Structure 1
Amino acid sequence: MRRIIIAALAATVLSTPLVGQEITEVQKIDFKDNTNWEQMAPGIQRKYVYGAQGMIAQFKMDKGATVPLHQHLNEQITYIAQGSVRVSVKGKDYTIKSGETLIIPANIPHSFICLEDNTIDIDFFSPPRKDWIDGTASYFKGPSSTHPALEEVAALDVRPGNVAVAKNGRIFSSIHPLGSTNYQLVEIVASKAIPYPNAAMQKNNAATSQNTFDAILGITIDQKNRLWVSDMGLNLGRTRLYAIDISSNKIVEQIELPASVAPKGTFAQEIVIDTKNNWAYLADIANPGIIAINLSTKKARRFSGHSSLQAEDLDMVIDGKTIHFGGQPARVAIDPLTLSSDGETLFFGAMNGTKWYALPARLLRQERDDNTIGKAIKIVGEKPISDGAFTDKKGNHYFTDLQHHAITRLSADGENSILVKATEKLLWPDNVYIADDGYAYISANQLNSTPAFTGGKDEGKAPFYIYKFKL
């Protein structure tokens, strides 16, 4: 039986497509690493991979942790690699110790209780657990397993980039430059995308101009309710920063960064604003670094060269397919960038990365050297492979989980959990924005289907969505 478990693990780890999808590629996945754990309930963490016909799951459990009575149409083979559990099936208790296995037929009610700390439980299911994949499993009563419903905010014929929501509820979105060169910035009004602040500022598929937007991606709302956007200038060759007064719908600030700080090719796609100290920070994934801008003096500097800014050697696997970028397995560097509510701590991580870092923002404001800044960087927790993040006023961090079509949270006390998972809806959740109305807003733009990722034609299918869910 142990050989059966090991063989099942090897076969499943090598392929993780959706249920019923034909296996077309061999996929090697590091299932033993310490990432992608989901906090299912107190004392229980889980991660899993699956193929067309089977699923393997690994659980870490603490003594006393329980899995409530439930049943499923899947045959289950449970192997305890470490520790012990007690399984109740039809009124009979089975104590399963390290090295022992229990086979549970389909549609048989059963429950678990963990008997030792640091228990490792490996379960094999056939067919894969569809209720896990689509997030409909509800036998745990805690909030980590009862996911809120996604509500549609807008269905667009072009890909949204990042979304931001003002204090009065107005919703703004960049249009991703990898998908369209018509509009660059829109306001969502009655579920429609309206050019913002006007049509004249949009590129409209014309030649690049100093007087129009070029390639906007990062957007945010500051504490004065101004909309800030970063224009990467992919065609113009200049990185620009705009502030728009949403009361008058007028551009009130335009800053062009010097080529010494942001040369042509800079891909500064994330932006955060420190209203208290009047600074802005951008994340550049092309030449991995953080660009800090003094909004009072317009002086800018770059921090780069540190290992925390680089991508990890970690494949991004979505629906059983290793995602490529530029013809190679994607290795995208610093991408998510957030700021604490007091403006004193920058948080960041690589898209292809599992670590979430913290950096004292004052060191950038004080123009300290890169070596001093690098020594001050600390790891504050783990994150999924993600394209966007948001840090709320309480210090909780929210991430888009690209591999699992989900939004996760790293709480201020270090606990990881999945807030919402929607396999068929969150197709490349690009960013997440926590608004004052208590909702989390998400753009889902199928970015991995663009030519930059496929190396060929655009495989995306409109509409592309902006969603929200109640926290």
Structure 2
Amino acid sequence: MKKILFITFLISSILYTNAQTKYEIVTKINPPNPDPSGIAVSKSNRIFLGFPRHADNHKEFALAELVNNKIIPFPSKDYVYPNSKSYKNWLVSPHGIYIDKNDVLWVLDDGKRAGIKEIPEGAAKVVAIDINSKKILHSVIVPKNVLSNEAHYNDLRVDLSHGKQGTIYIANSGFGQNFSLVVLDVATGKGKEVLLNHYSTSPDPGFMGFLEGQPHEYDFKNQTFPNGGADGIAISPDEKTLYWTAITGRKLYSLPTTILSDFNATEKQVEDAVKFEGEHPACDGLAEDEKGNIFFGSFEQQSLLKRNKEGHYTLLAHDKENFVWPDGLAYRNGYLYVTLGQWNRLPGFNGGKDLRKPPYLVVKIKTEQQ
């Protein structure tokens, strides 16, 4: 029995060591450059990063491309630095970013800045950018019938199979206590909010999680870690199914995009179509590949994981020192790219003390382990 236990321990140790070391640091970001969140990677492996202002109302660039290990404002300085133009004409606080199958970069601007309660009209929007010409192809404003100062438009996916020019799905994790999915039609700009405060988009009641070895209970009035509702979002390769998670929860849900994209569908029809897909590690962003695998960054275990179509999980990497808060995830050409933003160390969660320890890392790891 002791021999069996020893062999089991040895195998576990080898797997842990291999998983811990098999990743590559893409870049290290130091102040005055801001803390990164969103990430997207093109077919030719061009890397784009988003730098939101909802937690830190910084005055640096909001969107950039990583070129030869240098962070270059993208698509132009005028568009990504704060200025006096109308809010619809510059990026206020981009959170989720995503590159579609046509290599178009879609940027979700939640319009929120730290210390400012209001989200001005035109600030919350989704912008599509041709990464080669740097031309703005679309700018879809979150309409008045959907816009809320309490919203946190966190991440997005774009479905090119519905709508004349595509349909945008947004996870609203909520700065207040309202959580939902938002749907925008690219061609018309029409928008709707669904599953508002539904169990599938809301924090799990009684949630308790571990962060860097310490227990944290979900308490909206006394927040000690990043929390909220619908946050991570992913779409199947055939664009027929949308998946999402709540940042304060461990349950994965899905919906058929035929129903979600239908502006004539009733709220009851949407709610009745919600499917529970099983539990997952507590996480922030998601990524997906062409095989239907979904990738998770587990902030409790400080790990990166892969979930296959059958719902089975595989550990890709673990690093207790560096994987403090896996945030934005993007898949491309056999690699998972991840921003490590240390958001749980922000002053607002730690009695006013900024516990972040730059540099902020961007890493990548092979998704098929040898």
When normalised by structure 2's length, the TM-score is 0.86
- Secondary structure class of the residue paired with 1:374: helix
Partner of 1:280: 168
Checking the alignment, whether the CA contact within 8 Å between 1:311 and 1:352 is kept in structure 2 is yes
Checking the alignment, whether the CA contact within 8 Å between 1:327 and 1:455 is kept in structure 2 is no
Partner of 2:201: 309
- Residue type of the alignment partner of 1:465: L
Partner of 2:366: 470
Distance in 2 (alpha carbons) for counterparts of 1:150 and 1:207: 42
Pairs within 5 Å for 1:144-159: 146-147=18-19, 149-157=22-30, 158-159=34-35
Partner of 2:298: 401
RMSD of the TM alignment (CA)?
Answer: 2.3
Pairs within 5 Å for 1:156-235: 156-157=29-30, 158-177=34-53, 178-179=55-56, 180-204=58-82, 209-210=86-87, 211-235=89-113
- Larger strand fraction of residues: 1
Given the alignment, which residue of 344, 348, 353 partners 1:448? 344
Partner of 2:134: 249
Given the alignment, which residue of 373, 389, 400 partners 2:286? 389
- Residue type of the alignment partner of 1:164: A
Structure with bigger RCO (C-alpha 8 Å, 6+ apart) = 2
Checking the alignment, whether the CA contact within 8 Å between 1:156 and 1:192 is kept in structure 2 is no
Partner of 2:270: 373
Partner of 1:334: 230
Partner of 2:187: 296
Distance in 1 (alpha carbons) for counterparts of 2:221 and 2:341: 19
1:356 is the counterpart of 2:356: no
In the alignment of these two chains, the number of paired residues is 341
Partner of 2:330: 433
Structure 2: stretches of 5+ with no match in the other structure: 114-118
Partner of 2:311: 414
Partner of 1:36: none
Structure 1: stretches of 5+ with no match in the other structure: 1-86, 94-108, 113-128
Question: In the TM superposition, what is the alpha-carbon distance from 1:305 to its structure 2 partner?
Answer: 3.1
Distance in 2 (alpha carbons) for counterparts of 1:269 and 1:295: 18
Partner of 1:116: none
Larger radius of gyration: 1
Distance in 1 (alpha carbons) for counterparts of 2:238 and 2:6: 48
- Secondary structure class of the residue paired with 1:306: coil
Distance in 1 (alpha carbons) for counterparts of 2:68 and 2:349: 32
Partner of 1:84: none
Checking the alignment, whether the CA contact within 8 Å between 2:138 and 2:186 is kept in structure 1 is no
Pairs within 5 Å for 1:97-108: none
- Secondary structure class of the residue paired with 1:417: strand
C-alpha deviations, 1:26-60, integer Å up to 9, x for none? xxxxxxxxxxxxxxxxxxxxxxxxxxxxxxxxxxx
- Residue type of the alignment partner of 2:103: N
Identity %: 27
Checking the alignment, whether the CA contact within 8 Å between 2:203 and 2:249 is kept in structure 1 is yes
Checking the alignment, whether the CA contact within 8 Å between 2:224 and 2:349 is kept in structure 1 is no
Question: In the TM superposition, what is the alpha-carbon distance from 1:256 to its structure 2 partner?
Answer: 0.9
When normalised by structure 1's length, the TM-score is 0.68
Question: In the TM superposition, what is the alpha-carbon distance from 1:275 to its structure 2 partner?
Answer: 1.8
Pairs within 5 Å for 1:19-30: none
Q: Are residues 203 and 252 of structure 1, via their aligned partners in 2, closer, same or farther at CA, if it must alter by over 3 Å?
A: same
Question: In the TM superposition, what is the alpha-carbon distance from 1:261 to its structure 2 partner?
Answer: 0.7
Question: In the TM superposition, what is the alpha-carbon distance from 1:276 to its structure 2 partner?
Answer: 2.5
Checking the alignment, whether the CA contact within 8 Å between 1:237 and 1:265 is kept in structure 2 is no
- Residue type of the alignment partner of 1:405: Q
Partner of 1:318: 211
- Residue type of the alignment partner of 2:160: T
- Residue type of the alignment partner of 1:439: Y
Distance in 2 (alpha carbons) for counterparts of 1:185 and 1:174: 5
Question: In the TM superposition, what is the alpha-carbon distance from 1:332 to its structure 2 partner?
Answer: 1.8
Question: In the TM superposition, what is the alpha-carbon distance from 1:265 to its structure 2 partner?
Answer: 3.2
Question: In the TM superposition, what is the alpha-carbon distance from 1:146 to its structure 2 partner?
Answer: 3.8
C-alpha deviations, 1:421-470, integer Å up to 9, x for none? 111111211022111x2111000011111123224132212110100011
Checking the alignment, whether the CA contact within 8 Å between 1:156 and 1:463 is kept in structure 2 is yes
Question: In the TM superposition, what is the alpha-carbon distance from 1:329 to its structure 2 partner?
Answer: 4.9
Q: Are residues 208 and 454 of structure 1, via their aligned partners in 2, closer, same or farther at CA, if it must alter by over 3 Å?
A: farther
C-alpha deviations, 1:346-405, integer Å up to 9, x for none? 101111111111111111222211111111111112211100111222221110100111
- Residue type of the alignment partner of 1:150: Y
Distance in 2 (alpha carbons) for counterparts of 1:329 and 1:447: 11
Partner of 1:240: 125
Distance in 1 (alpha carbons) for counterparts of 2:29 and 2:17: 30
Distance in 2 (alpha carbons) for counterparts of 1:337 and 1:432: 10
Distance in 2 (alpha carbons) for counterparts of 1:453 and 1:362: 39
